[in-house]
Structure 1
Amino acid sequence: MDFTPTEAQTDLAQLTGEVCAKLVTADRLRELDTDARFDEQLWKALAETGVLAAALPEELGGSDFGMQEQASILRELGRSVAAVPYLWSVVVGAGALARFGDDAQRALAGRAGTGEVVLSAALAEQNHAATDAPGIVAAAAGTGWALTGSATTVAFADRAERILVPASVSGQTAVFLVDPSDASVTRTAQQVVDLGPEFGVEFASTPAELIGTLDTGAEILTWLREHAWLGLAALQLGTLERALELTAEHARTREQFGKPVGAFQSVAQRLADAYIDVQGLRLTVTQAAWRVAENLPAAESIHIAKFWAADAGHRVAHTVIHIHGGIGIDRDHIVHNYFTAAKHHEFALGGATPHLLALGAELAEGA
């Protein structure tokens, strides 16, 4: 594989970083520390600069870039712990509709690329074998479908125009579009570690629109899960990179017993271990994104990347807090945001153990 970033990757990362640097400050992050965490100003800026639409097909107003470019954007958003739904609305939601949807659904993807609407996906229960049937059940209702069941930790369900929901249809898996503002839908705010806007969503014979066909449902669900896992790993990469930079600076400038704390052997060793962990995550995310972009089998690489995001993420996040000492757990200090973001990315859609088990299953199947 070629580790050299494409020109588009470099340009999009630089543009995203510049927009975030201008708008995402420590004071702004403190303002957003609520259960409805959403940076509308940043979201509009990313839409206006074309960042949101970059990976959509040209006919939908995009530049037809791929997962490598999206990973570069996610990495920069992770570096700023940006409170925007780029992963769920654009990478997962719009990406799936552009690939598998009909004309009307593809038009909805185009609107997501302009930032006009937000999309989300109910994937928290979909972290097992691809053959596992979703807990939500779909039944024919006239000329359409109706869903019954519940989903947990659905990101940005409070402002989503549509939610992509996997459901079981007579033992088959299918993926549907649901309007969360429908009267048959109940949304309950859930408190998660980084105060992100995540909701439990209950469907009671909720009208739903099929994406693709019943025969392509399993393929669509696999696509959704793999892009979400890889997207979370890319966000984690940016979060850990920046957290480590802040910690290294603190170790250089904070003095104890007349010398910088970074001069103590135990601190230096932990920083070195954290550096190796971040490099490992960077390698695995780069490899997985490249394989996806090249349309190569990527399931193993994606599980490895998400495992590193969880396993290395745990170690680096705690190193950041321990080296900062008491100020590291102060909610007014910037590293607190990086710690909680890293813990969210660690466990979202499966921690280290589920992805090791999934990787083992992939390897056993290919043996």
Structure 2
Amino acid sequence: MNNDLVSLVKNRFRKSFGNEDILVFSPGRINLIGEHTDYNNGYVFPAAIDKGIIMALGKSNTNRSTIISVDMNDRLELFLKDLKRIEANTWKNYIIGVIAEIQKKRGTLLNFNCVFAGDIPVGSGLSSSAALENALVFGCNTLFNLKFDKMELIHISQKAEHNFVGVNCGIMDQFASMFGEADKALFLDCKTLQSESVAVNMDEFEIILINSNVKHALAESAYNDRYAVCQKLIKLLNKTSLREVSYEELDTIKTKISEPDYRKGLYVLQENDRVLQCREALEDNNMKKVGAFLFQSHKGQSEMYEISCDELDFLVNEAKLNDAVIGARMMGGGFGGCTINLVTKNGSEYFQKKIAVSYKKQFKKDCSIYKVKLSDGTRLI
């Protein structure tokens, strides 16, 4: 957690409203392995990280609620009995959505003031939106003693994104941000929402994220296309999700679908298997085996599910050539964003310098590099 950010938020709140009642930290997340499996009722392996949102909240004695975003240098003033979605792509809809979903369940809240700031890199795919939603819903739950449990809180966050932001996200991001544990990843079954904390031994390794700093225009439409392919496959097989489909069953419709669609279905089945195998490798403390699964995952994402891009492939291929890197893959929806890299501590600095130079030479632009640690989930400070 960034202590300078804590001081910044506290000082801004006190300058604007007086002393805060509570302070919340809500982390971003990474996903170790298990990409595009969540909406197929599959398995994922996320973890909360030590970058996130710091939020100060306090009750208000005015007739409105005021929320200040330090990073955006912007504010939102709300009358809680008259909430409307803003017809623009703005952080404010995440706030309005969370408050609206809380009020659907508990009636009108009392007015409050709120100041927040974060250190999650913008556009990095580390789920700053889930961190913001969780910070607010957790903060309101505490401030007003609403008595929601954590599972209810993450569903409020998810519904806020569905109904007010317009993103039909799965539950993984909110789950990892809320339930994360230091030095552990969460093996999550997206069908049952049962999870298991699994220790990740980072004594010899570091998690390095490399942001390509690109986001190709086809990302959103391609994501929806992949979802549609998966729906088509399960309709042909009369199944509720690809989670219920075996390799043999997928082969029975091979002649009825295109080769690219078959490969996409096969990727999902294989990626689910990789998540299960990764859990076993972590439990055996075999980090090199974990790394091998990451490389395999990227190959599947790039060649079978076709959600990578030149920049991400370049970063993973360069990582594979470096002896300090035991595993790397693209992380997130695809067509830009970050790669996640498992790197030996003694080779990390050289790797970071070398790949930054190589990327700049190849694409005439900079990548951004972050080191992250696995963190506890949303909590009071």
Q: TM-score, normalised by structure 2?
A: 0.25
**Whose helix fraction is larger, Structure 1's or Structure 2's?**
1
